[in-house]
Every structure is written in structure tokens, then in C-alpha cells.
Amino acid sequence: MNFGRAIFTIVLTAATSLTALAAGAHELPVGDGHISQAPLRGNVFACQTTFRGGGARHVGDWFHGDTWNPLEKPHVAGRVMWPQAALTIRAGADAVSIRSNGLPVGQPTGTFPISPRDPVYQYDTNPNAIAEQSLSFDIPRVPARAAQPGCLPMGMIGYTTTGVALYNALDAAGRDAAAHEVQDLCDGHPQGKGQYHYHSASPCLPGANANVAVGWALDGYPILGKRDAKGVLLTNADLDACHGRAETVTVDGRRYDYAYRLTEEYPYVLGCYAGTVLPQTQQAIRQSMGPPRDGPPGPGRPRR
């Protein structure tokens, strides 16, 4: 292999992608294969190294080689509101307590399961219905940077200011979920237990395109929108391997020295955990969600 040529190609591709993003283009690099076993910018440092398959059945015509166009990608039909959606966030001396039923507060979803009559069924047959959860967990009020960044599990890695769970950028097959899976008008969908979630920056998330907090990671650090204080659209080049950066941020009177950032490009939300996730946080979420439901490969299998 000609390593010099390979490096040149990678640099050229990255430069082209950044130029397109800066210019407001809608062709985004597909994140397939960008899974690392250590922190690496533009990748998901995944705890899971093998994937079972599943997710969307077919590649749609919104793919153009190694790029995809979100404006060409169809959405699951329907606009369902959830008046029973509930989210409570209380900050104590040491922890921030989150209580949520997992439904989006003030924001819609599509109609799930995906109906065979929905045109997107030809690509994605997600058989899961959205269901209320009973989430009750704490995150650190004053998060601490970990000695070494932590890997991201499948499932919940954070939550939004509207109560929606955030997952990493991967689908059940280890592919770029935002590109492959057909989601609703808010770029969300439910997994096998009915937990509605986002894999990327939802257009229904208030502040996603601004310099404000849109949620928190489970390690306690805030997640901010796509633009900095000057209104500049941020890219992976502006961020570290965990998809964040050291900056002074004040949210609800709490001061932080680090924040994750949403971006247009993969991995969209987090690349790894910069801080420490408390064991009791992980345990509380596991108890809320119950044991995993794995099924055989096929179009009707539960979705993560």
C-alpha cells in the first residue's frame, strides 16, 4: 500500500468535506467505518467492537457514493404530539437529578411502527412503537475530566432539554445511523423497548443551531449547539476526539469548563466521554430500561 498517497487522500477528503460544510452544502460524508478503539477525532470510540446487523434494509437514493444528502432523505410520516411528556431537572449540591418519561416535551414525533403504507417502509421497517419510559438518574453537578476518555455504549449516552434520549451515531449494524436509518420529521425514532431517541442534531431541538445548551451527556458535561458565540458553524476540526472542547460555559447558573458540541457532520453529538460516568447513573438507567431485548436478524427485529 502506498501510505503517502493514502494519507494525502485522507487529508484531501477531509479538506473537501470541511470546505463543503463551511459553504453550507448539504452533502455530508457518510460515517460508515469511522469506529475507533481509542479516542480519535471524527470517530465514535465505541465500547462495542462487533455488531449484530439490522437497521435500515436498503440504501436510499440520498446516498451519493461516500456522501449523503439529508435534504433528499425522506421522513417517516405523521406528526404526533405528546401532551403527557414530562421532564424534571433539579440541581443539588453534588448532583443534577433527572426524572423523565422519555417523551419529547413540546415537540412532535412521527407515527411508529412504520406502516407498510408509508413510502419509507421500502427502506426501513422499524417495527417499534414509542412508549413511555420511567427514567430517574443523577449526573454530576460538577463533572470531572477523566484521566482517559471513555468509550460510548450503545443506547443512551445523554439527554436533551426536551427530555429525549441521545444515542451515539451508530445503528445496530455499526453504520452511520443518521444517514442510513429513516427517521421522523425530528430525526428521531424508537428502539426495541420504545425509547424515542436522536442520533444527531434534531431540527426540533431548541438551540441546535445556536450557542446554547441543548442537553447533557451522562458524564455531566453540557452539549451545546452547532455555532459558537460569534455565530460560526463548528466542524470536527474545531473539536477534540470526544466532540467537545475546553470553554467556559454557564448553564442554569452552573459553570462548566468543557462542553460537547453538535455538528452537521458525523459523529454529530459525542465521539467519546471526556468525563467520568458514575456507575450509579449507568445502573439507574439499566434498571429503568430493563434487560436488553435481542432478536434474530431480519426486518422485524427490535431496533437499538
Locate 173 and state its grid cell. 449494524
Cα distances (Å, whole numbers) of residue 121 to 112, 189, 198: 11, 14, 19
Asked, for residue 295, whether it belongs to a domain, the answer is no
Q: Is the pTM higher than 0.85?
A: yes
Residues 6+ apart with CB under 8 A from 136: 97, 98, 99, 284, 288
Structural domain range at position 190: 3-289
Cis peptide bond upstream of 113, omega within 30: yes
Distance CA 217, CA 77 (A): 29
232 lies in a domain? Answer: yes
Quick check: is 296 in a domain?
A: no
- N residues, the chain: 304
Total of domains in the chain: 1
The verdict on residue 301 lying in a domain is no
Nearest Cα residue to 173 out of 2, 283, 24, 35: 35
In a domain, 136, yes or no: yes
pLDDT of residue 299: 39
**DSSP 3-state of 232:** coil
Tens digit of each residue's pLDDT (9 = 90 or more) over 155-172? 999 999 999 999 999 999
Residue 6 has what pLDDT? 34
End-to-end CA distance of the chain: 37
104 in a structural domain? yes
The answer to whether residues 236 and 41 touch, using CB atoms and an 8 Å cutoff, is yes
Ranges of residues in the chain with a pLDDT under 70 are 1-25, 290-304
- pLDDT tens digit sequence for 210-258: 999 999 999 999 999 999 999 999 999 999 999 999 999 999 999 999 9
Residue 94 maps to a domain: yes
Domain-located, residue 250: yes
C-alpha span between 17 and 36 (Å, rounded): 20
- For residues 175 and 248, what is the distance between their CA atoms, to the nearest angstrom? 33
